[in-house]
Structure 1
Amino acid sequence: MKSDTSTSAAPLKGLGPGPLRSSEPARALPAVSPAVHLLEEAADLLVVHLDFPAALETCERAWQNLTEEPSNGTTVEVKCSLCVVGIQALAEMDRWREVLSWVLRYYRLPAELPPRVLELCILLYSKMQEPAAVLDVADAWLQDPDNQGLPEYGSLAELHLLRVLLPLGRLSEAEELAVGSPVFSEAQRAAVLQAVLAARQRQHMQETLNSQEPQKLSQEGPFSRKLLSLLMLLRRLWGSAVSHLLSQPFRKGLLVALILCLLVLRFDPASPSSLPFLYQLAQLFRRIQKATLARLYPLALQD
């Protein structure tokens, strides 16, 4: 009986400091939300099974369950985690362009986005070289007074400056954000301003090159036109020469000359050994004649 008593009391350890009396009600563990189960299922589908459509569909079902639950700290964290899983699933399916619209379906306003979700959106669109898609959302989030007191505000402001404003060439906005925002430390502000200065120098150099290009083309214009006209003239001369060489009368004259040459060499009383070069040339002409006649009169040669 002692063993039975100790075994039945074991699960009750940790529920309270003292022994459980029969007059006290049993304290039940907090019920786990169905959205939490769906979040775990979506994460398992994403990471383990690599079933990205099913993971996205599970996230959407979890969102529907969260609308029926009261808002608290757990609900906020589950919403953020569901967005992270959904963003990764859309990116894996090469549907990354839908990420921002999909997230804003549930948060409605850009200022309501969790910092982690906004960070993922900036990194994703920056990596895909379309930072303009997230520009307005990031600006609205950074300008919201409630977000400026968050601990993640400084890192997101720096990320927005380096990954969105500078690639888009919005150097004045980037410099204004770096100087006017109190969240940057002196080291961060100096590094950001150095990056803005380097981007401005590159932009100025590119504008200088673009302005010099039409002038260079205008200076080289007459020479280029002369060279082009000369090339066209050479092309016409070459075409006329080739057409003349391939014309029917010229080919007939060449054939007659070859036949006469062969007749002269064939009835030449001189010995072939005394004229080795002419003998080899005659042999070559005979091969050419045989190949030509074989193409023109194949049946007669076979007979």
Structure 2
Amino acid sequence: MKSDPSISAAPLRGLGGPLRSSEPVRTALAPPPAVALLEEAADLLVVHLDFPAALETCERAWRGLASGVQAEELAGTSSEVKCSLCVVGLQALAEMDRWREVLSWVLQYYQVPEKLPPKVLELCVLLYSKMQEPGAVLDVVSAWLRDPDNQGLPEYRALADLHLQRVLLPLGRLSEAEELVGGSAAFGEEQRLVALQAIHTVRQQQAQEPVGSEEAQKLNQAGSFSQKFLSLLLLLRRLWDSAVSHFFSLPFKKSLLAALILCLLVVRFDPASPSSLPFIYKLAQIFHRIREAVFPPLCRLPIRD
């Protein structure tokens, strides 16, 4: 069963939800070959979910519209079919996760942004905004809104508000947003006040962000320093515990002998000399005090010479 060519704006299932537009797609008085291809492309997109084939069918229909006398004779009546082909094609690209190619694909047929149909431009804004890349359509929508021929269209007000809410404010282009709100007749008095309040709210958020980020950075630095200091203390404690356990694992007599030999090597005194006896006596007293302090009287083993 063929789908109705007037319902070519199918949901973008691959992006988690439909992109809705306020303008219906019409195909009245369109060339029969283009209508047949449009119906086939919509059927491939919605019913068969064959997105590459739907895109190829749209491109084939565009080549047919752009060739021969048909495009010149039916230039006015085929504009709606061109718009519908673009809608089906951009949704096929989005379903194939090729949404970044949508804008360039559409512009290759309309050449300049000012000539884009309002419905196609609206879907492009919704798509790139949904994918959190509104900057991709910033210049295109701005050029379209500045064109005098587009300012008289009934869709101009909706696109101006969509551009403000989905592109300018998320990008923080507040000066351009104020210029659009203040210099465009698309905004009524009440709508202008709401838009200016939204701009003021975004400006306050931007003013608070640097302070918050600076405080967060200081907290992160302090936390990092504390973590490093604790790691250093733990490392020193492990080294001290290892050295103490290694020292006390040796017999006391061997430790005393090793210390005495070390003193002989470093100080290089003669043990047989009378001048060295007071030093040896003091050294022995130090080791006895260390032994008494470390080992309790109940646990201390007698040292036998």
1:219-274 per-residue CA deviation (whole Å, 9 max, x = no partner) reads x86x97577335303223225535876x7x95x99xxxxxxxxxxxxxxxxxxxxx
Instruction: Return the offset for 1:101.
Output: 0.6
Paired residue for 2:48?
Answer: 49
Q: How does 1:77-116 map to 2 (within 5 A)?
A: 77-116=80-119
Gaps of at least 5 residues in structure 1 are: 1-29, 254-303
Verify: 1:183 aligned to 2:186, yes or no.
Answer: yes
Paired residue for 1:241?
Answer: 241
Paired residue for 2:135?
Answer: 132
Q: 1:31 to 1:233 in 2, by over 3 A?
A: closer
**Among the aligned pairs, what percent are the same residue?**
62
What is the SS of the residue equivalent to 2:148? Answer: coil
Greater relative CO, 1 or 2 (CA 8 Å, sep 6+): 2
Assess if the C-alpha contact under 8 Å between 2:90 and 2:102 holds in 1: yes
What is the SS of the residue equivalent to 1:141? Answer: helix
Matches of 2:194 and 2:226, distance apart in 1? 53
Instruction: Return the offset for 1:198.
Output: 1.0
Matches of 1:235 and 1:97, distance apart in 2? 52
Letter in 2 for 1:238: R
1:11-53 per-residue CA deviation (whole Å, 9 max, x = no partner) reads xxxxxxxxxxxxxxxxxxx995211110000000001101000
Verify: 1:40 aligned to 2:43, yes or no.
Answer: no
Letter in 2 for 1:64: R
Paired residue for 2:126?
Answer: 123
Paired residue for 2:255?
Answer: none
Matches of 2:146 and 2:186, distance apart in 1? 13
Letter in 2 for 1:47: V
Matches of 1:202 and 1:212, distance apart in 2? 15
Matches of 1:207 and 1:150, distance apart in 2? 41
What is the SS of the residue equivalent to 1:151? Answer: coil
Instruction: Return the offset for 1:188.
Output: 1.4
Q: 1:120 to 1:31 in 2, by over 3 A?
A: closer
Matches of 2:169 and 2:224, distance apart in 1? 39
Paired residue for 2:301?
Answer: none
Output the TM-score relative to the length of structure 1. 0.65
Paired residue for 1:203?
Answer: 206
Matches of 1:130 and 1:94, distance apart in 2? 14
Letter in 2 for 1:195: A
Paired residue for 1:146?
Answer: 149
Output the TM-score relative to the length of structure 2. 0.65
Q: Cα RMSD over matched residues?
A: 2.8
Paired residue for 2:23?
Answer: none
Q: 1:240 to 1:134 in 2, by over 3 A?
A: same
Instruction: Return the offset for 1:210.
Output: 3.2
What is the SS of the residue equivalent to 1:74? Answer: coil
Q: 1:227 to 1:108 in 2, by over 3 A?
A: closer
